[in-house]
Structure 1
Amino acid sequence: MNILLTGGTGFIGQRLMGHLRSHHQITVLSRTPNKVYQRLGHDIKALSSLDQLDNLDQFDAVINLAGEPIADKRWTQAQKERICQSRWNITQQLVDKLKAGVNPPRVLISGSAVGFYGRQGDALVDEDSNPNAEFSHHVCAQWERLAQAAESEHTRVCRIRLAVVLGAEGGALKKMLPGYRLGLGGPIGTGKQYMSWIHIEDVVNLILFLLEHEECSGPFNAAAPEPVTNEQFSRTLARVLGKPHFARVPAWAMKLLLGEMASLLLTGQRVMPVRLQQAGFHFRYPTLDKALKETLCAPQSR
Protein backbone atom coordinates (compact mmCIF):
# COMPACT_ATOMS: atom_id res chain seq x y z
CA MET A 1 0.00 0.00 0.00
CA ASN A 2 0.93 3.63 -0.46
CA ILE A 3 0.13 5.18 2.93
CA LEU A 4 0.01 8.77 4.17
CA LEU A 5 0.74 9.02 7.90
CA THR A 6 0.34 11.99 10.21
CA GLY A 7 1.90 11.91 13.67
CA GLY A 8 4.66 9.64 12.37
CA THR A 9 7.33 11.05 14.68
CA GLY A 10 5.19 10.60 17.80
CA PHE A 11 5.14 7.81 20.38
CA ILE A 12 2.72 5.57 18.48
CA GLY A 13 3.79 6.71 15.03
CA GLN A 14 7.42 5.73 15.47
CA ARG A 15 6.51 2.23 16.68
CA LEU A 16 3.99 1.86 13.85
CA MET A 17 6.62 2.86 11.29
CA GLY A 18 8.77 -0.08 12.35
CA HIS A 19 6.00 -2.39 11.11
CA LEU A 20 4.86 -0.45 8.04
CA ARG A 21 8.11 0.46 6.35
CA SER A 22 9.13 -3.06 5.30
CA HIS A 23 5.85 -3.80 3.50
CA HIS A 24 4.44 -0.44 2.40
CA GLN A 25 5.43 2.85 0.83
CA ILE A 26 5.07 5.54 3.49
CA THR A 27 4.79 9.32 3.29
CA VAL A 28 4.92 11.13 6.63
CA LEU A 29 3.23 14.51 6.91
CA SER A 30 5.21 16.78 9.24
CA ARG A 31 5.80 20.50 9.51
CA THR A 32 9.47 19.66 10.22
CA PRO A 33 10.69 17.13 7.63
CA ASN A 34 14.15 17.11 9.23
CA LYS A 35 12.60 15.55 12.33
CA VAL A 36 11.16 12.80 10.15
CA TYR A 37 14.59 12.03 8.70
CA GLN A 38 16.30 12.16 12.11
CA ARG A 39 13.79 9.88 13.85
CA LEU A 40 12.69 7.60 11.04
CA GLY A 41 15.53 7.60 8.50
CA HIS A 42 16.19 9.16 5.11
CA ASP A 43 14.42 6.38 3.24
CA ILE A 44 11.06 7.77 4.38
CA LYS A 45 9.35 10.38 2.24
CA ALA A 46 8.41 13.50 4.19
CA LEU A 47 5.72 16.00 3.23
CA SER A 48 5.77 19.41 4.92
CA SER A 49 2.26 20.52 3.92
CA LEU A 50 -0.89 19.16 2.32
CA ASP A 51 -0.85 22.27 0.15
CA GLN A 52 1.71 20.39 -1.95
CA LEU A 53 -1.06 17.99 -3.03
CA ASP A 54 -4.19 18.61 -5.08
CA ASN A 55 -5.82 15.49 -3.66
CA LEU A 56 -4.96 12.17 -2.00
CA ASP A 57 -5.65 9.91 -4.99
CA GLN A 58 -2.07 8.61 -4.99
CA PHE A 59 -2.60 7.00 -1.56
CA ASP A 60 -4.34 3.73 -0.73
CA ALA A 61 -4.74 4.59 2.95
CA VAL A 62 -4.43 7.51 5.37
CA ILE A 63 -3.54 7.06 9.06
CA ASN A 64 -4.16 10.21 11.07
CA LEU A 65 -2.47 10.23 14.51
CA ALA A 66 -1.47 13.89 14.78
CA GLY A 67 -2.37 16.02 17.79
CA GLU A 68 -0.99 18.05 20.70
CA PRO A 69 -0.50 15.73 23.72
CA ILE A 70 -3.57 16.16 25.90
CA ALA A 71 -1.94 15.61 29.30
CA ASP A 72 1.45 17.29 28.87
CA LYS A 73 0.51 20.74 30.16
CA ARG A 74 -1.99 22.46 32.43
CA TRP A 75 -5.24 23.19 30.62
CA THR A 76 -5.10 26.94 30.19
CA GLN A 77 -7.57 28.34 27.69
CA ALA A 78 -4.74 28.68 25.19
CA GLN A 79 -3.63 25.07 25.72
CA LYS A 80 -7.19 23.81 25.31
CA GLU A 81 -7.34 25.62 21.99
CA ARG A 82 -4.04 24.04 20.89
CA ILE A 83 -5.32 20.59 21.86
CA CYS A 84 -8.46 21.09 19.79
CA GLN A 85 -7.04 22.80 16.74
CA SER A 86 -4.03 20.46 16.42
CA ARG A 87 -6.52 17.62 15.89
CA TRP A 88 -9.37 19.33 14.10
CA ASN A 89 -7.38 21.35 11.57
CA ILE A 90 -5.30 18.52 10.16
CA THR A 91 -8.31 16.20 10.05
CA GLN A 92 -10.37 18.77 8.16
CA GLN A 93 -7.50 19.34 5.70
CA LEU A 94 -7.14 15.59 5.10
CA VAL A 95 -10.86 15.16 4.47
CA ASP A 96 -10.96 18.15 2.12
CA LYS A 97 -8.05 16.76 0.08
CA LEU A 98 -9.60 13.29 0.12
CA LYS A 99 -12.90 14.61 -1.21
CA ALA A 100 -11.12 16.64 -3.91
CA GLY A 101 -10.03 13.49 -5.76
CA VAL A 102 -11.79 11.02 -8.02
CA ASN A 103 -10.02 7.89 -6.74
CA PRO A 104 -9.61 8.55 -2.99
CA PRO A 105 -7.86 6.29 -0.45
CA ARG A 106 -9.78 3.13 0.43
CA VAL A 107 -9.52 3.76 4.15
CA LEU A 108 -8.98 6.57 6.64
CA ILE A 109 -7.93 5.45 10.12
CA SER A 110 -8.24 8.45 12.42
CA GLY A 111 -7.29 8.81 16.04
CA SER A 112 -9.57 9.60 18.94
CA ALA A 113 -9.52 8.68 22.63
CA VAL A 114 -11.61 7.03 25.32
CA GLY A 115 -11.99 10.57 26.65
CA PHE A 116 -14.83 10.63 24.11
CA TYR A 117 -17.03 9.06 26.81
CA GLY A 118 -16.17 11.54 29.57
CA ARG A 119 -16.41 10.36 33.16
CA GLN A 120 -18.36 7.12 33.44
CA GLY A 121 -17.74 5.84 36.97
CA ASP A 122 -17.54 2.04 37.17
CA ALA A 123 -20.07 1.34 34.40
CA LEU A 124 -18.88 -0.90 31.57
CA VAL A 125 -18.47 1.25 28.47
CA ASP A 126 -18.70 0.09 24.86
CA GLU A 127 -18.86 1.97 21.56
CA ASP A 128 -22.60 2.58 21.96
CA SER A 129 -22.43 4.05 25.47
CA ASN A 130 -23.75 7.57 25.97
CA PRO A 131 -20.95 10.08 26.60
CA ASN A 132 -20.79 12.61 29.39
CA ALA A 133 -20.43 16.13 27.99
CA GLU A 134 -17.14 17.69 29.13
CA PHE A 135 -13.93 18.96 27.53
CA SER A 136 -12.44 15.58 26.59
CA HIS A 137 -15.70 14.56 24.92
CA HIS A 138 -15.90 17.90 23.09
CA VAL A 139 -12.38 17.41 21.68
CA CYS A 140 -12.94 13.82 20.56
CA ALA A 141 -16.50 14.20 19.30
CA GLN A 142 -15.60 17.00 16.88
CA TRP A 143 -12.41 15.16 15.87
CA GLU A 144 -14.49 12.11 14.99
CA ARG A 145 -17.21 14.10 13.22
CA LEU A 146 -14.63 15.68 10.94
CA ALA A 147 -13.06 12.31 10.11
CA GLN A 148 -16.40 10.60 9.55
CA ALA A 149 -17.21 13.12 6.82
CA ALA A 150 -14.74 11.24 4.59
CA GLU A 151 -16.96 8.13 4.57
CA SER A 152 -18.17 7.29 1.06
CA GLU A 153 -18.68 4.34 -1.25
CA HIS A 154 -14.95 4.57 -2.02
CA THR A 155 -13.58 5.26 1.48
CA ARG A 156 -14.31 3.60 4.80
CA VAL A 157 -13.49 5.43 8.02
CA CYS A 158 -12.24 3.78 11.22
CA ARG A 159 -12.08 5.88 14.38
CA ILE A 160 -9.83 4.44 17.10
CA ARG A 161 -10.63 5.57 20.64
CA LEU A 162 -7.29 5.11 22.38
CA ALA A 163 -6.94 4.28 26.04
CA VAL A 164 -3.70 4.99 27.98
CA VAL A 165 -0.98 3.52 25.77
CA LEU A 166 1.73 1.58 27.59
CA GLY A 167 5.26 1.61 26.24
CA ALA A 168 8.66 2.23 27.80
CA GLU A 169 9.71 4.81 25.24
CA GLY A 170 6.92 7.33 25.72
CA GLY A 171 3.43 8.16 26.89
CA ALA A 172 2.09 8.15 30.44
CA LEU A 173 4.17 5.21 31.65
CA LYS A 174 7.46 6.92 30.89
CA LYS A 175 6.40 9.85 33.08
CA MET A 176 5.30 7.57 35.93
CA LEU A 177 8.40 5.37 36.08
CA PRO A 178 10.89 7.71 37.84
CA GLY A 179 8.68 8.04 40.93
CA TYR A 180 7.84 4.33 41.05
CA ARG A 181 11.49 3.35 40.65
CA LEU A 182 12.26 5.48 43.70
CA GLY A 183 9.56 3.63 45.64
CA LEU A 184 7.34 6.72 45.71
CA GLY A 185 4.58 5.54 43.40
CA GLY A 186 1.00 5.14 44.49
CA PRO A 187 -2.63 5.59 43.50
CA ILE A 188 -4.18 8.96 42.76
CA GLY A 189 -7.08 10.17 44.88
CA THR A 190 -9.24 7.28 46.04
CA GLY A 191 -7.68 4.94 43.48
CA LYS A 192 -11.14 3.56 42.75
CA GLN A 193 -11.46 5.32 39.41
CA TYR A 194 -11.10 3.00 36.42
CA MET A 195 -8.13 3.24 34.09
CA SER A 196 -8.42 1.80 30.61
CA TRP A 197 -5.09 0.95 29.01
CA ILE A 198 -3.53 -0.81 26.01
CA HIS A 199 -0.04 -2.07 25.17
CA ILE A 200 1.56 -0.15 22.31
CA GLU A 201 2.12 -3.35 20.32
CA ASP A 202 -1.61 -3.99 20.42
CA VAL A 203 -2.21 -0.45 19.15
CA VAL A 204 0.10 -1.12 16.21
CA ASN A 205 -1.50 -4.50 15.56
CA LEU A 206 -5.05 -3.17 15.61
CA ILE A 207 -4.13 -0.41 13.15
CA LEU A 208 -2.67 -3.06 10.83
CA PHE A 209 -5.80 -5.16 11.40
CA LEU A 210 -8.09 -2.28 10.42
CA LEU A 211 -5.97 -1.53 7.36
CA GLU A 212 -6.39 -5.08 6.11
CA HIS A 213 -10.01 -5.84 7.05
CA GLU A 214 -12.20 -4.05 4.56
CA GLU A 215 -15.38 -4.91 6.45
CA CYS A 216 -14.31 -2.74 9.40
CA SER A 217 -15.54 0.83 9.78
CA GLY A 218 -16.87 3.13 12.49
CA PRO A 219 -15.65 3.58 16.08
CA PHE A 220 -13.38 1.06 17.81
CA ASN A 221 -12.30 1.17 21.46
CA ALA A 222 -8.54 0.69 21.46
CA ALA A 223 -8.43 -0.60 25.02
CA ALA A 224 -7.35 -3.93 26.52
CA PRO A 225 -10.24 -6.20 27.57
CA GLU A 226 -9.31 -5.99 31.26
CA PRO A 227 -9.55 -2.39 32.50
CA VAL A 228 -8.36 -1.89 36.07
CA THR A 229 -8.80 0.65 38.83
CA ASN A 230 -6.06 3.19 39.38
CA GLU A 231 -5.24 1.37 42.64
CA GLN A 232 -4.83 -1.94 40.78
CA PHE A 233 -2.70 -0.34 38.10
CA SER A 234 -0.46 1.32 40.67
CA ARG A 235 -0.05 -1.83 42.75
CA THR A 236 0.74 -3.97 39.70
CA LEU A 237 3.30 -1.48 38.41
CA ALA A 238 5.05 -1.34 41.80
CA ARG A 239 5.10 -5.15 42.04
CA VAL A 240 6.54 -5.62 38.53
CA LEU A 241 9.28 -3.12 39.42
CA GLY A 242 9.90 -4.81 42.79
CA LYS A 243 9.19 -1.56 44.64
CA PRO A 244 7.08 -0.74 47.73
CA HIS A 245 3.56 0.56 47.32
CA PHE A 246 2.45 2.78 50.17
CA ALA A 247 2.42 6.35 48.83
CA ARG A 248 -0.77 8.05 47.72
CA VAL A 249 -1.32 11.27 45.80
CA PRO A 250 -4.29 13.15 47.28
CA ALA A 251 -6.91 14.53 44.93
CA TRP A 252 -6.49 18.07 46.23
CA ALA A 253 -2.78 18.01 45.34
CA MET A 254 -3.54 16.92 41.78
CA LYS A 255 -6.15 19.66 41.40
CA LEU A 256 -3.74 22.25 42.78
CA LEU A 257 -0.97 21.11 40.45
CA LEU A 258 -2.93 20.41 37.27
CA GLY A 259 -6.19 22.32 37.61
CA GLU A 260 -8.99 21.05 35.37
CA MET A 261 -6.67 18.55 33.71
CA ALA A 262 -6.59 16.58 37.00
CA SER A 263 -10.05 15.30 36.11
CA LEU A 264 -8.40 13.00 33.54
CA LEU A 265 -6.60 11.23 36.36
CA LEU A 266 -9.22 11.44 39.09
CA THR A 267 -12.10 10.13 36.98
CA GLY A 268 -12.05 7.53 34.26
CA GLN A 269 -13.81 5.00 32.12
CA ARG A 270 -14.13 1.21 32.26
CA VAL A 271 -13.87 0.73 28.52
CA MET A 272 -14.34 -2.57 26.70
CA PRO A 273 -13.13 -3.24 23.11
CA VAL A 274 -16.41 -4.81 22.03
CA ARG A 275 -16.35 -4.00 18.31
CA LEU A 276 -12.69 -4.98 17.87
CA GLN A 277 -13.31 -8.37 19.46
CA GLN A 278 -16.46 -8.89 17.40
CA ALA A 279 -14.36 -8.19 14.29
CA GLY A 280 -11.96 -10.97 15.30
CA PHE A 281 -9.04 -8.97 16.69
CA HIS A 282 -7.00 -10.77 19.36
CA PHE A 283 -4.98 -8.87 21.95
CA ARG A 284 -1.40 -9.98 22.42
CA TYR A 285 -1.37 -8.33 25.85
CA PRO A 286 -4.87 -8.68 27.34
CA THR A 287 -3.77 -8.43 31.00
CA LEU A 288 -1.95 -5.61 32.75
CA ASP A 289 0.56 -7.93 34.42
CA LYS A 290 1.67 -9.36 31.07
CA ALA A 291 1.77 -5.94 29.42
CA LEU A 292 3.90 -4.35 32.14
CA LYS A 293 6.29 -7.30 32.38
CA GLU A 294 6.92 -7.19 28.64
CA THR A 295 7.32 -3.44 28.65
CA LEU A 296 9.59 -3.15 31.69
CA CYS A 297 11.44 -6.46 31.89
CA ALA A 298 12.07 -7.45 28.26
CA PRO A 299 15.18 -6.16 26.47
CA GLN A 300 14.26 -3.04 24.52
CA SER A 301 15.53 -4.08 21.11
CA ARG A 302 13.00 -2.07 19.11
Structure 2
Amino acid sequence: MRIAITGSTGLIGTELVRSLKADGHDVVRLVRRTPAAPDEVRWDPRRQEVDTAGLAGCEALVHLAGAGVGDHRWTAAYKREIRDSRVLGTRALAAALAAMPDPPGVLVCGSAIGYYGDTGDRRTDETASAGTGFLPDVCVDWEAAAQPAQDAGIRTVFARTGLVVARSGGAWGRLFPLFRLGLGGRLGDGSQYWSFISRHDHIAALRHLIDTETLAGPVNLTAPEPVTNREVTAVMGKLMHRPTLFTVPAPVLRIALGEFATDVLASQRIIPQRLLDSGFVFTHPRIADAVRAA
Protein backbone atom coordinates (compact mmCIF):
# COMPACT_ATOMS: atom_id res chain seq x y z
CA MET A 1 0.00 0.00 0.00
CA ARG A 2 1.17 3.54 -0.77
CA ILE A 3 0.56 5.78 2.27
CA ALA A 4 1.24 9.52 2.69
CA ILE A 5 2.07 11.02 6.09
CA THR A 6 2.37 14.55 7.45
CA GLY A 7 4.29 15.12 10.68
CA SER A 8 6.58 12.22 9.76
CA THR A 9 9.44 13.46 11.97
CA GLY A 10 7.38 13.73 15.16
CA LEU A 11 6.97 11.37 18.11
CA ILE A 12 4.28 9.32 16.35
CA GLY A 13 5.17 9.97 12.73
CA THR A 14 8.72 8.66 13.02
CA GLU A 15 7.58 5.35 14.45
CA LEU A 16 4.64 5.05 12.05
CA VAL A 17 6.96 5.47 9.06
CA ARG A 18 9.32 2.81 10.46
CA SER A 19 6.46 0.40 11.15
CA LEU A 20 4.90 0.77 7.70
CA LYS A 21 8.20 0.43 5.85
CA ALA A 22 9.11 -2.64 7.90
CA ASP A 23 5.98 -4.31 6.56
CA GLY A 24 6.78 -3.39 2.95
CA HIS A 25 4.50 -0.37 2.49
CA ASP A 26 5.52 2.55 0.28
CA VAL A 27 5.57 5.72 2.42
CA VAL A 28 5.34 9.27 1.07
CA ARG A 29 6.35 12.02 3.51
CA LEU A 30 4.87 15.52 3.12
CA VAL A 31 7.44 18.23 3.91
CA ARG A 32 7.28 22.02 4.05
CA ARG A 33 10.67 22.54 2.37
CA THR A 34 11.98 21.65 -1.06
CA PRO A 35 11.90 17.84 -1.30
CA ALA A 36 15.36 16.32 -0.87
CA ALA A 37 14.51 12.62 -1.30
CA PRO A 38 12.37 10.56 -3.68
CA ASP A 39 9.83 9.80 -0.94
CA GLU A 40 9.17 13.48 -0.11
CA VAL A 41 6.33 15.67 -1.41
CA ARG A 42 6.06 19.42 -0.90
CA TRP A 43 3.16 21.08 0.89
CA ASP A 44 2.63 24.52 2.42
CA PRO A 45 -0.37 24.61 4.75
CA ARG A 46 -0.25 28.37 5.28
CA ARG A 47 -0.42 29.01 1.54
CA GLN A 48 -2.94 26.17 1.15
CA GLU A 49 -0.67 24.43 -1.35
CA VAL A 50 -0.25 20.66 -1.75
CA ASP A 51 1.66 18.90 -4.54
CA THR A 52 -1.11 16.45 -5.35
CA ALA A 53 0.89 15.00 -8.26
CA GLY A 54 3.22 13.51 -5.64
CA LEU A 55 0.23 11.89 -3.91
CA ALA A 56 -0.89 10.01 -7.01
CA GLY A 57 -1.44 6.36 -6.23
CA CYS A 58 -1.69 6.87 -2.47
CA GLU A 59 -4.41 4.77 -0.89
CA ALA A 60 -4.30 6.51 2.50
CA LEU A 61 -3.11 9.74 4.06
CA VAL A 62 -2.31 10.07 7.76
CA HIS A 63 -2.26 13.68 8.92
CA LEU A 64 -0.26 14.13 12.14
CA ALA A 65 1.27 17.60 11.75
CA GLY A 66 0.63 20.29 14.38
CA ALA A 67 2.48 22.51 16.86
CA GLY A 68 3.12 20.89 20.24
CA VAL A 69 0.47 21.88 22.78
CA GLY A 70 2.89 21.79 25.72
CA ASP A 71 6.02 22.98 23.94
CA HIS A 72 5.71 26.65 24.93
CA ARG A 73 3.85 28.90 27.32
CA TRP A 74 0.43 29.78 25.94
CA THR A 75 0.88 33.34 24.78
CA ALA A 76 -1.73 34.74 22.41
CA ALA A 77 0.71 34.19 19.55
CA TYR A 78 1.42 30.56 20.47
CA LYS A 79 -2.27 29.75 20.93
CA ARG A 80 -2.76 31.06 17.41
CA GLU A 81 0.07 28.79 16.23
CA ILE A 82 -1.52 25.76 17.94
CA ARG A 83 -4.80 26.42 16.19
CA ASP A 84 -3.50 27.49 12.78
CA SER A 85 -1.04 24.61 12.47
CA ARG A 86 -3.95 22.20 12.81
CA VAL A 87 -6.82 23.95 11.10
CA LEU A 88 -4.93 25.39 8.12
CA GLY A 89 -3.05 22.15 7.52
CA THR A 90 -6.20 20.04 7.63
CA ARG A 91 -8.08 22.48 5.41
CA ALA A 92 -5.30 22.44 2.81
CA LEU A 93 -5.11 18.66 2.70
CA ALA A 94 -8.87 18.10 2.64
CA ALA A 95 -9.36 20.56 -0.22
CA ALA A 96 -6.44 19.08 -2.16
CA LEU A 97 -7.64 15.51 -1.76
CA ALA A 98 -11.19 16.47 -2.71
CA ALA A 99 -9.90 17.96 -5.97
CA MET A 100 -7.91 14.87 -6.98
CA PRO A 101 -9.43 12.71 -9.74
CA ASP A 102 -8.44 9.56 -7.84
CA PRO A 103 -7.89 10.53 -4.18
CA PRO A 104 -6.81 8.24 -1.34
CA GLY A 105 -9.64 6.15 0.01
CA VAL A 106 -9.07 7.17 3.61
CA LEU A 107 -7.86 10.24 5.48
CA VAL A 108 -6.80 9.55 9.07
CA CYS A 109 -6.75 12.99 10.61
CA GLY A 110 -5.08 13.67 13.94
CA SER A 111 -7.26 15.08 16.71
CA ALA A 112 -7.16 14.90 20.50
CA ILE A 113 -9.21 13.95 23.53
CA GLY A 114 -8.93 17.64 24.37
CA TYR A 115 -12.15 17.73 22.33
CA TYR A 116 -14.10 16.63 25.43
CA GLY A 117 -12.68 19.18 27.88
CA ASP A 118 -12.69 18.34 31.57
CA THR A 119 -14.88 15.25 32.04
CA GLY A 120 -14.19 14.75 35.75
CA ASP A 121 -14.57 11.10 36.75
CA ARG A 122 -17.26 10.42 34.13
CA ARG A 123 -16.43 7.62 31.67
CA THR A 124 -16.62 9.35 28.30
CA ASP A 125 -16.72 7.79 24.82
CA GLU A 126 -17.09 9.10 21.27
CA THR A 127 -20.80 9.84 21.69
CA ALA A 128 -20.03 12.77 24.04
CA SER A 129 -20.28 16.34 22.83
CA ALA A 130 -17.44 18.85 22.79
CA GLY A 131 -16.36 20.54 25.99
CA THR A 132 -15.68 24.22 26.50
CA GLY A 133 -12.39 26.09 26.47
CA PHE A 134 -9.44 26.67 24.18
CA LEU A 135 -8.49 23.06 23.40
CA PRO A 136 -12.06 21.83 22.79
CA ASP A 137 -12.60 24.79 20.45
CA VAL A 138 -9.38 23.97 18.59
CA CYS A 139 -10.39 20.33 18.21
CA VAL A 140 -13.85 21.25 16.91
CA ASP A 141 -12.37 23.58 14.28
CA TRP A 142 -9.62 21.05 13.48
CA GLU A 143 -12.09 18.28 12.68
CA ALA A 144 -14.46 20.62 10.84
CA ALA A 145 -11.62 21.61 8.51
CA ALA A 146 -11.69 18.10 7.02
CA GLN A 147 -15.24 18.54 5.70
CA PRO A 148 -14.21 18.88 2.00
CA ALA A 149 -12.68 15.40 2.14
CA GLN A 150 -15.82 13.96 3.71
CA ASP A 151 -18.00 15.71 1.13
CA ALA A 152 -15.88 14.14 -1.62
CA GLY A 153 -16.67 10.67 -0.25
CA ILE A 154 -13.27 10.05 1.31
CA ARG A 155 -13.55 7.94 4.47
CA THR A 156 -12.34 10.34 7.14
CA VAL A 157 -11.35 9.20 10.63
CA PHE A 158 -10.51 11.56 13.51
CA ALA A 159 -7.91 9.94 15.76
CA ARG A 160 -8.65 11.58 19.11
CA THR A 161 -5.38 10.83 20.85
CA GLY A 162 -4.69 10.72 24.58
CA LEU A 163 -1.34 11.02 26.40
CA VAL A 164 1.23 8.88 24.59
CA VAL A 165 3.60 6.98 26.87
CA ALA A 166 7.06 7.12 25.26
CA ARG A 167 10.64 7.55 26.44
CA SER A 168 11.06 10.83 24.60
CA GLY A 169 8.58 13.44 23.48
CA GLY A 170 5.13 14.30 24.78
CA ALA A 171 4.15 14.36 28.44
CA TRP A 172 6.10 11.24 29.39
CA GLY A 173 9.23 12.58 27.73
CA ARG A 174 9.22 15.18 30.50
CA LEU A 175 8.15 12.83 33.29
CA PHE A 176 10.80 10.13 32.87
CA PRO A 177 13.83 12.39 33.58
CA LEU A 178 12.17 13.79 36.71
CA PHE A 179 11.38 10.34 38.07
CA ARG A 180 14.88 9.07 37.31
CA LEU A 181 16.22 11.89 39.48
CA GLY A 182 13.78 11.03 42.27
CA LEU A 183 11.90 14.29 41.69
CA GLY A 184 8.66 12.78 40.42
CA GLY A 185 5.37 13.32 42.18
CA ARG A 186 1.71 14.25 41.89
CA LEU A 187 0.50 17.23 39.92
CA GLY A 188 -2.06 19.09 41.97
CA ASP A 189 -3.99 16.70 44.21
CA GLY A 190 -3.45 13.84 41.76
CA SER A 191 -7.14 13.01 41.45
CA GLN A 192 -7.41 13.99 37.78
CA TYR A 193 -7.76 11.13 35.29
CA TRP A 194 -5.09 10.68 32.62
CA SER A 195 -6.16 8.81 29.49
CA PHE A 196 -2.93 7.29 28.21
CA ILE A 197 -1.85 5.01 25.39
CA SER A 198 1.51 3.35 24.75
CA ARG A 199 3.30 4.45 21.58
CA HIS A 200 3.23 0.84 20.35
CA ASP A 201 -0.56 0.69 20.71
CA HIS A 202 -0.96 4.14 19.16
CA ILE A 203 0.90 3.08 16.03
CA ALA A 204 -1.07 -0.18 15.88
CA ALA A 205 -4.33 1.76 16.29
CA LEU A 206 -3.48 4.18 13.47
CA ARG A 207 -2.80 1.24 11.19
CA HIS A 208 -6.09 -0.33 12.34
CA LEU A 209 -7.89 2.87 11.35
CA ILE A 210 -6.34 2.74 7.90
CA ASP A 211 -7.32 -0.89 7.37
CA THR A 212 -10.79 -0.98 8.95
CA GLU A 213 -13.23 0.26 6.33
CA THR A 214 -16.16 0.40 8.76
CA LEU A 215 -14.48 3.10 10.87
CA ALA A 216 -15.16 6.76 10.09
CA GLY A 217 -15.63 9.85 12.24
CA PRO A 218 -14.18 10.16 15.76
CA VAL A 219 -12.25 7.28 17.33
CA ASN A 220 -10.58 7.64 20.73
CA LEU A 221 -6.98 6.43 20.81
CA THR A 222 -6.56 5.76 24.52
CA ALA A 223 -6.02 2.63 26.61
CA PRO A 224 -9.24 1.05 27.92
CA GLU A 225 -8.61 1.87 31.60
CA PRO A 226 -7.67 5.50 32.32
CA VAL A 227 -5.92 6.11 35.65
CA THR A 228 -5.52 9.06 37.97
CA ASN A 229 -2.36 11.12 38.13
CA ARG A 230 -1.88 9.70 41.64
CA GLU A 231 -1.90 6.16 40.21
CA VAL A 232 0.52 7.16 37.44
CA THR A 233 2.87 8.57 40.06
CA ALA A 234 2.76 5.37 42.12
CA VAL A 235 3.43 3.14 39.10
CA MET A 236 6.28 5.32 37.86
CA GLY A 237 7.94 5.32 41.27
CA LYS A 238 7.56 1.56 41.70
CA LEU A 239 8.87 0.58 38.28
CA MET A 240 11.74 3.07 38.32
CA HIS A 241 12.61 2.33 41.97
CA ARG A 242 12.47 5.97 42.95
CA PRO A 243 10.68 7.89 45.73
CA THR A 244 7.63 9.96 44.80
CA LEU A 245 7.64 12.43 47.66
CA PHE A 246 7.40 15.62 45.64
CA THR A 247 4.13 17.24 44.64
CA VAL A 248 3.52 20.27 42.48
CA PRO A 249 0.63 22.28 43.97
CA ALA A 250 -1.93 23.66 41.55
CA PRO A 251 -0.99 27.33 42.23
CA VAL A 252 2.66 26.59 41.39
CA LEU A 253 1.64 24.88 38.16
CA ARG A 254 -0.41 27.91 37.19
CA ILE A 255 2.56 30.19 37.80
CA ALA A 256 4.90 27.93 35.82
CA LEU A 257 2.61 27.01 32.93
CA GLY A 258 0.11 29.82 32.76
CA GLU A 259 -3.19 28.95 31.09
CA PHE A 260 -1.91 25.50 30.04
CA ALA A 261 -1.96 24.48 33.73
CA THR A 262 -5.76 24.35 33.56
CA ASP A 263 -5.51 21.51 31.07
CA VAL A 264 -2.72 19.73 32.97
CA LEU A 265 -4.99 19.66 36.02
CA ALA A 266 -8.11 18.74 34.04
CA SER A 267 -9.54 15.23 34.41
CA GLN A 268 -10.31 13.18 31.29
CA ARG A 269 -11.59 9.64 31.76
CA ILE A 270 -11.86 8.72 28.09
CA ILE A 271 -12.86 5.26 26.83
CA PRO A 272 -11.88 3.95 23.33
CA GLN A 273 -15.28 2.38 22.75
CA ARG A 274 -15.27 2.42 18.95
CA LEU A 275 -11.75 0.99 18.82
CA LEU A 276 -12.76 -1.86 21.13
CA ASP A 277 -16.00 -2.49 19.25
CA SER A 278 -14.07 -2.77 15.97
CA GLY A 279 -11.96 -5.62 17.36
CA PHE A 280 -8.74 -3.80 18.20
CA VAL A 281 -6.66 -5.58 20.86
CA PHE A 282 -4.31 -3.58 23.07
CA THR A 283 -0.82 -4.89 23.78
CA HIS A 284 -0.42 -2.54 26.76
CA PRO A 285 -3.89 -2.02 28.25
CA ARG A 286 -2.66 -1.05 31.73
CA ILE A 287 -0.48 1.85 32.79
CA ALA A 288 2.21 -0.45 34.20
CA ASP A 289 2.36 -2.25 30.82
CA ALA A 290 2.75 1.04 28.97
CA VAL A 291 5.44 2.39 31.29
CA ARG A 292 7.41 -0.87 31.12
CA ALA A 293 7.22 -0.78 27.31
CA ALA A 294 8.60 2.76 27.29
Q: Same fold (TM over 0.5)?
A: yes
Residue equivalent to 2:31:
30
- Alpha-carbon distance between aligned partners in 1 of 2:239 and 2:29, rounded to the nearest angstrom: 36
Note the 1:1-302 alignment, pairs <5 A: 1-22=1-22, 23-32=24-33, 45-49=39-43, 50-53=49-52, 56-152=55-151, 154-295=153-294
The letter for the 2-side match of 1:184 is L
Residue equivalent to 1:298:
none
CA contact (8 A) 1:109 1:160 kept: yes
Moved more, 53-62 or 141-150: 53-62
- After TM superposition, give the deviation of residue 52 of structure 1 in Å: 3.0
Q: Residues 33, 239 of structure 1: CA spacing in aligned structure 2 closer, same or farther, 3 A cutoff?
A: farther
Task: Give identity over the alignment, percent.
Answer: 36
CA RMSD of aligned residues (A): 1.6
- Alpha-carbon distance between aligned partners in 2 of 1:256 and 1:154, rounded to the nearest angstrom: 47
- After TM superposition, give the deviation of residue 290 of structure 1 in Å: 1.1
Deviations 1:256-296 (A, max 9, x none): 0111000121112000000100011111100001111121x
5+ residue gaps, structure 1 = 296-302
Q: Secondary structure at the match of 2:259?
A: helix
Q: Secondary structure at the match of 1:27?
A: strand
TM-score by length of 1: 0.91
Q: Secondary structure at the match of 1:69?
A: coil
- Alpha-carbon distance between aligned partners in 2 of 1:141 and 1:149, rounded to the nearest angstrom: 15
- After TM superposition, give the deviation of residue 235 of structure 1 in Å: 1.2
The letter for the 2-side match of 1:143 is W
- After TM superposition, give the deviation of residue 129 of structure 1 in Å: 1.3
TM-score by length of 2: 0.94
CA contact (8 A) 1:113 1:161 kept: yes
Q: Residues 55, 99 of structure 1: CA spacing in aligned structure 2 closer, same or farther, 3 A cutoff?
A: farther
5+ residue gaps, structure 2 = 44-48
CA contact (8 A) 2:34 2:42 kept: yes
CA contact (8 A) 1:54 1:97 kept: no
- After TM superposition, give the deviation of residue 122 of structure 1 in Å: 0.7
